[in-house]
Amino acid sequence: MKKFDDDLEFESLNEDSRDSRFVLPIIIVAVLLVIVIAALVLIGKNGKNKDTSADLVATEQSGTTGEETQNTEVMGAVEATESAAETDADDPQGSSMGNETGASVDVTALLSAGSVAESGETTFGIDVARYQGTIDWSQVAASGVQFAMIRVGYRTQKTGEIVADSNAKYNMQEAQANGIKVGAYFFSTAVTAEEAVQEADWVADYISQYQITYPVAFNCEGFENADSRQYAMTQSERTDMAIAFLNEIYNRGYTPMFYAAKNEMLGDAKWDTSRIEKTYKIWVSQYPSVPYPQTAQSDYTGTHAMWQYTNQGTVAGISKPVDVDIAYFGYAGTADAKSDVTPETVGADAEALMNFSDVNETVTAKQSTNLRNIPSQGSDATVVATLQNGETATRTGVSSSGWSRVSYNGQTLYAVSSYLTTDLGYTAPAANTAAETTTDGSGSGDGLKTKFTACNDVVTAKIEVNLRTLPSVTNPDAAVVAVLKNGETVTRTGINTDYGWSRVDYNGQTLYCVSSYLTSAQ
């Protein structure tokens, strides 16, 4: 083909030659097609890189370890509800604060044995034990809680006995019944890998009749206490023990997860976290001064799938402070129970928030006292029977909170301790005379002529106590005006030892409460 310079080509085109007239348009079209194809290839490459970069940024910002995908939504997708757990000497829980930023993780390496597909959504949950008392799970569900990590048991700190949480089955049963997805956790004090495997097998057996969709977590605290059975263990030994537990949980068909406070995991401070995080989901406890969602994410730099951001949460249906969690994963459905056996229906542990000392003695009422289904005078309690003076019941337990557990007509019921006596010949004092009532403060309007011995001391509630307009729990006019909580103080101006009542000055009002619920504030 003849080659033209620019001028000759221009002249040739002007000559309107039939052969050359279409050459330039064809060449231009061909060149344009090449340019378009090349541009599309380059745009496709850049788009792919940009999408991948966005995925990584999202993962780094959330610190997620969701197993199915790295494209996890940054926190803020869950609406928090309104916003301590108590501990036994053999059952410690810890927490920590920190100032780090989150990190990404290769989620494909983490063990997951769940039968329900895991999603990348952010979910909102709580973790509970018997220390939250009797939970109204219908209210919890209505508040927007999506999952609950339920403590199923623990191995005691000193003796090494495995103990079931007294409200574990009730909590799993009711959370499940109200549509809340369930996970579980266990407090370990194992000192060998063999003991850790034993704990994991105990947990797997215990939860087998329930629908466990969320992970089963290992928690170990208090190992630096001198009286802990783990005190002499090295960090490496404790990590080996944790891994043994987690691996056995996986072998039993559940997704394992490791829980610890930020300051214990950061930089392998107390655990070989770098070993654990390669295989198992991490649940970090880190409490910012301003909670989620105002603080959008944990500042723990290690990889983690779940964040416990406070232990002082307020959730409808739970009377005590509760731990609140954000999980960087969720589930499309609910897992089936491993066992085909239907679990028995259980009730809540009425004594979950009280420690009763066992006794065995016969008692009667000083005058009359209500016997209730739970140790409470609140609306949640039902009066089952009334014990009259001269009738007897067997007292089987006494609590420092002012309650007695009694066996009455084959039922376990509860009565205010100060209304009972072991003196079976006890006769209630006669009503006060008019002369007495003029000197004992009866002008306060109690209407019952209850004699009070004058006193002047500052008191607070052991836990909490109702303050009433009259010294009675049966009189319909004895309205509850206020509830005194531990830490709040009032001045006690009178005390009645026969019936166990105190007269107090509260915000300028004269009110009455059960003396055994009070303790000195000085």
CATH superfamily of 356-421: SH3 Domains (2.30.30.40)
- Cα(395)–Cα(391) distance, integer angstroms: 13
Q: Helix, strand or coil for residue 428? A: coil
CA quadruple 470, 476, 481, 487: dihedral, nearest 10? 70
Which one-letter DSSP state was computed for residue 146?
A: -
The candidate with the shortest Cα–Cα distance to 280, out of 310, 306, 248, 243, is 243
- Whole-number pLDDT of residue 310: 94
- Whole-number pLDDT of residue 450: 73
Pairing, β 393-399 against β 383-388: unpaired
- Whole-number pLDDT of residue 25: 52
Do the domains spanning 356-421 and 453-520 agree at the CATH topology level?
Answer: yes
- Strands lying side by side in the sheet with 411-416: 383-388, 368-372, 411-416, 403-408, 393-399, 356-365, 420-421
- At which residue do the structure tokens 């089936």 appear? 336
Q: For the chain, which residues score pLDDT lower than 70?
A: 1-109, 430-449, 474
- Whole-number pLDDT of residue 237: 97
- Cα(71)–Cα(59) distance, integer angstroms: 6
Question: What are the start-end ranges of the H helices in 252-347?
Answer: 262-265, 273-276
- Whole-number pLDDT of residue 38: 54
Q: Which two tokens stand for residue 435?
A: 């002369």
Q: Which two tokens stand for residue 346?
A: 């259980």
- Whole-number pLDDT of residue 188: 97
Architecture (CATH level 2) of domain 115-331: Alpha-Beta Barrel (3.20)
Q: Do residues 306 and 325 touch, judged by C-beta distance below 8 A?
A: yes
Q: Which residues contact 224 (CB under 8 A, 6 or more apart)?
A: 231
| Top CATH class, 453-520 | mainly beta
Which one-letter DSSP state was computed for residue 355?
A: -
- Whole-number pLDDT of residue 498: 78
pTM given for the model:
0.67
pLDDT tens-digit readout, 131-157: 999 999 999 999 999 999 999 999 998
Read off φ and ψ for residue 81, nearest 5 degrees: -85, 180
- Whole-number pLDDT of residue 246: 98
Query: What is the domain partition of the chain in residue ranges?
Result: 115-331, 356-421, 453-520
